[in-house]
A and B are shown apart, each in its own frame.
Chain A
């Protein structure tokens, strides 16, 4: 078996699908080769935040990129809903970061000032001590010492984002082949030859590696460093609640179906099994922040693996050795989705109007 493609995208998570959609919109013929159903997919287990607070406090290019992404979300959501009948439940209502530790609260305040500087003060935010917060959110737990609030923060339904992207890609003429884990990719002639685990060969003139954690293994075949690692995040979802939670936060949010999602943990491991210790920690956190949640039932907890670079910022890499090969990987792929489906596609195409993404070159890790 063999297939032909103008551009082959390896990986059908939200990053690969956004790039596919963007390239298809630019008139390219695109084939997405996706892995197995059981693969680790950050795109199927994430928290759905479209989030700005704290992003790029120490790295201005990332602060600006995230800012643009958040601003681009409403149009992007509109574009997707024009292509497919899926409600993404985008809600950019503003979001809180809650702190039960005074030192962390203070440190985060400094980060926000640095982030605002990087954004030439286009970032508005508030720092609220417990009393301010309690006035605004009666019901907040006694142990919350303070919070930051950023009116630009929001969230979407992440599962429907993944679903909508698949459908939008199909509607835009992208071919998606599932169960096609690529085992080898190498330059061949003017393009690339890909082999997947079913034995199928694919020839493509360009290849974009968006395989999430799978890129660590495939990247070196195209001489990318691909220094990515897994970082586990654990989450929980509760039964549906009829009342609206009066806030959105980076660790507690109400999904549009009504359930409450609780998350925000980090562990350096590639094992995606939920743990008792973290479940307990998440439950304690939720009840500490909003004591009224105490009698809500948890339906399910799970763990998902973040696709992390050493500094946490994206890698957008054009191969110097093999023109036509690209590596695209990031954490916060939900937040950045609108740019991946537009500006990044321009950049892959070498469009003169494309943004300068030099700051996200993976050679930055060689220098440090």
Chain B
């Protein structure tokens, strides 16, 4: 099962790269955890017809999925990559059995995860990220019933509009403080992203027209379960306290790169202060600190679907060049339009990052908040440990077990960093990225054992 290129992640970046690389003459293995190609944004796009309410952008993913229909591309669905071994290849699991895909080149396109939104009560049944609700809409045709949308960021407007279109409008939109005015200086560049901006304004208009109560500048989030299993959501706006009841409380504060695989390989990473997250250090082609390992899409820094698609294609061109299938001139010529598309796609980013920066209360939440959902470690105990010498991610981890559960810190690291930064008065950029060990997703002992020569053979 050796391939010239193994791509991990069948979202826009991975799918675009697969097509370009295969057309250029490489054999490509495309691995993805999901049953179908599409990634988070185009989830299920190949399988679902007639969900017009999800919008035209969603339907556009169909072309990318169709692009995978190429003799040079082997798509392995339900393939969970749990380790990349520099010598052996990409190790992945399906149905309790692990496989090794040796590769001359690896492209990691594992995308983003939602930024954790910790506050007292966020672990209760009845709370979910807005992106999770969107996945349910795409994958299952389920819409949130009597939901409140809270937090900030463009996705919140999109989900609200989709809910309205599906006949299940949110009962309220509770927006945390945004810094639109502060972000205005970044608008001139944002004008290149005019279509996106207009689309955003269109969404806002639809939410207004639907008469959804809209709270702005909300803070002090707190959720509790009511006696009948619904969610009571308390928050403040300025000096005013509010208490709303809903069936489902959806939260969102943007997305961050999924960097567990890149970190587990020991690749160089850097802190992106605008996006408040660690990401792999990449050259303009997506090449990492390891020459044969590339990263494209949101996993290398948040840029959205259009940017991911361009970055995937750019990385594929660089890999074709590295593999001797494309000369430098050809690579650069084909890259030019992609770079223009990328620049257009990213033009709105600085504005969005500045306008929807994360309020500090969600980086360093109140003491009673459960920060590490797996090990159930509270913000209070993290603060206390930070003040008595656990001044780094690793010491915190071994002191309190933060990040030691099955999610391996995916749901708590940003918050642990925020809390240590607050307690020790240091910038987040000096904390992390935490060291990630494999398997990045749990696999059974039997499965690992089966990767080696069997006992009978060894004796």
Contacts and interface: CB of A to CB of B under 8 A. Distances in A.
Interface of A: 36-38, 44, 143, 159, 162-163, 166-167, 170, 176, 178-179, 238-239, 257, 262, 273-277, 279-284, 286-288, 293-302
Contacts of B391: 37, 178-179
B448 A280 contact: yes
B374 to A, nearest CB: 9
Given A38-B394, A281-B452, A298 B388 contact: no
Contacts of B85: 275-276
A143 B455 contact: yes
B326 interface: no
Interface string B333-350: 000000000000000000
A273 B391 CA distance: 23
A299 B438 contact: no
B279 to A, nearest CB: 19
A282 B391 CA distance: 33
B393 interface: yes
Interface in B171-197: none
Most chain B CB within 10 A, of A274, A283, A293, is at: A283
B451 interface: yes
Contact of A297 (B88, B91, B400, B443): B443
A299 B435 contact: no
A332 to B, nearest CB: 19
Interface of B: 83, 85, 88, 91, 266, 388-389, 391-395, 398-401, 404-406, 408, 435, 437-439, 442-446, 448-449, 451-452, 455
A316 B451 CA distance: 44
A179 B388 CA distance: 13
Nearest to A166: B389
Q: 8 nearest interchain CB pairs?
A: A37-B392, A280-B452, A297-B442, A283-B448, A294-B446, A283-B449, A284-B449, A283-B445
Given A37-B394, A166-B388, A297 B444 contact: yes
22 contacts: A37-B391, A44-B394, A166-B389, A179-B391, A257-B401, A262-B445, A274-B437, A276-B85, A276-B88, A276-B451, A279-B438, A279-B448, A280-B452, A283-B446, A284-B449, A287-B449, A293-B445, A294-B445, A297-B444, A298-B439, A298-B444, A299-B442
Contacts of B392: 36-38, 178-179
B437 A302 contact: yes
Contacts of B455: 143, 284, 288
A143 B85 CA distance: 29
Given A277-B452, A287-B446, A299-B408, 6 more contacts: A38-B392, A159-B401, A274-B437, A284-B449, A297-B406, A298-B448
Contacts of A283: 445-446, 448-449, 452
B287 to A, nearest CB: 21
A218 to B, nearest CB: 21
Contacts of A296: 444-445
